[in-house]
């Protein structure tokens, strides 16, 4: 699966491509930090304009809007070209895998579901890594950028409800709630990777019989086909049931977290110790830190699929190695 990083043919793409993606992601996070700073300053201007009519000139107000438009435009341009390059990068990764399997086809073609591993699973692996890998990188960099900001802003928070004074309280609230939610949902969804793996096995067996039946009708005996499809139906129904309670837990947690920063800020807000701009800035920084820490929570269904694909490809490569040594 990782021939992309070990073969000389792909050296430029794997090394310099990775450096480009890291650089682009750093730029995106930096711009996001500047936008967060803009929110704090802009909402203070907005508060002054509303509370003291005439205190803010029209040109000054429009200047703040122009500043945001400029930041947003740069953010969009960098993001679009970063995603464009990443798509090419991950397709080259897939090509490196496919080339390896093509070279080993004499040993691979006799393995159950070989064509599905080479075509479908390499495609899934590339697409998952394109989304999941980049999102992981962005989450790590966002956490590194916004955690110090949240740490500094938390100095102005006087106390937490029910707990009283806690140093750098918003940092602790973000960390504890995110880690707690991740552990909870990991336990709730612990059966999902195994079910996804079983789905792929049963789908592969069902598809193989249909493919063989294209050339030889006798091999698609209705009884065999119906039995295989019955297995497909049962495993999908099983997956639907397990995702029912997993999604109930996931969305309950994520929706509940929307209000958490405002509850934590409640004692500070009601005393009027901070401005509207500060509330916006710290709540946005809190959201960025919390979202980064919730990477596993938000990506769990995709991670489940990646675990299943990786397991199938590793088994496929082990079987190729066995066949080579015969």
CATH number at residue 249: 1.20.1560.10
Say which residues have a Cβ less than 8 Å from residue 192's Cβ, sequence separation at least 6: 239, 242, 243, 246, 300, 301, 304
Tokens of 250: 């996931």
Spatial neighbors of 231 by CB under 8 A, at least 6 apart, are: 202, 205, 206
* pLDDT of the residue at 214: 64
Helices (H), 189-275: 192-215, 222-270
CA end-to-end distance (rounded Å), the chain? 23
Say whether 55 sits in a helix, a strand or coil: coil
Query: Looking at the 3D structure of the chain, how many domains does it have?
Result: 1
Helix runs in 117-191, H state only:
122-128, 134-153, 169-188
Question: In the prediction, which pLDDT does 136 show?
Answer: 83
pTM given for the model: 0.71
Q: What is the pLDDT of residue 216?
A: 63
Print the domain residue range for 17: 3-324
pLDDT at 43: 83
State the pLDDT at residue 215: 63
Q: What is the predicted pLDDT for the residue at 78?
A: 92
Question: What pLDDT is stored for residue 70 in this prediction?
Answer: 93
pLDDT tens for the chain, 326 residues long, are 666 777 778 888 888 988 998 899 899 989 988 988 888 888 888 888 877 877 778 888 889 899 999 999 999 999 899 989 988 888 888 888 888 888 877 777 777 677 777 877 788 888 888 778 888 888 888 888 888 888 888 887 877 888 777 787 888 888 888 888 888 888 888 888 788 878 878 887 787 777 777 666 666 677 778 888 888 889 889 988 988 988 898 888 888 888 888 888 888 888 777 777 888 888 888 888 888 877 777 777 788 778 778 877 888 788 888 777 76
């Amino acid at each position: 699966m990782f021939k992309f990083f070990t073969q000389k043919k792909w050296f430029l793409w794997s090394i310099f491509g990775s450096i480009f993606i890291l650089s682009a992601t750093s730029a995106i996070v930096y711009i996001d930090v500047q936008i967060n700073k803009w929110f704090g300053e802009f909402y203070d201007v907005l508060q002054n304009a509303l509370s003291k009519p005439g205190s803010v000139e029209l040109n000054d107000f429009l200047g703040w809007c122009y500043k945001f438009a400029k930041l947003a435009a740069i953010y969009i341009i960098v993001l679009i070209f970063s995603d464009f390059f990443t798509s090419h990068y991950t397709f080259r990764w897939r090509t490196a895998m496919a080339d390896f399997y093509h070279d080993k086809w004499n040993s691979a073609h006799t393995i159950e579901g070989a064509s599905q591993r080479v075509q479908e699973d390499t495609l899934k692996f590339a697409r998952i890594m394109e989304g999941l890998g980049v999102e992981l990188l962005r989450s790590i960099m966002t956490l590194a950028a916004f955690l110090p900001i949240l740490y500094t802003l938390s100095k102005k928070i006087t106390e937490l409800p029910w707990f009283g004074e806690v140093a750098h309280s918003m940092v602790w609230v973000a960390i504890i709630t995110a880690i707690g939610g991740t552990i909870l949902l990991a336990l709730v969804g612990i059966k999902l990777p195994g079910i996804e793996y079983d789905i792929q096995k049963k789908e592969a067996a069902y598809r193989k019989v249909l493919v063989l039946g294209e050339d030889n009708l006798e091999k698609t005996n209705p009884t065999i086909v119906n039995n295989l499809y019955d297995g497909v139906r049962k495993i999908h129904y099983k997956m639907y049931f397990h995702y029912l309670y997993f999604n109930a837990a996931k969305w309950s947690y994520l929706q509940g977290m929307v209000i958490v920063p405002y509850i934590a800020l409640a004692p500070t807000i009601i005393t009027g110790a901070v401005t509207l701009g500060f509330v916006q800035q710290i709540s946005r920084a809190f959201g960025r830190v919390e979202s980064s820490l919730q990477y596993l929570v938000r990506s769990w269904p995709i991670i489940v699929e990646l675990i299943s694909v990786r397991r199938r490809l590793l088994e496929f490569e082990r079987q190729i190695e066995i066949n080579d040594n015969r």
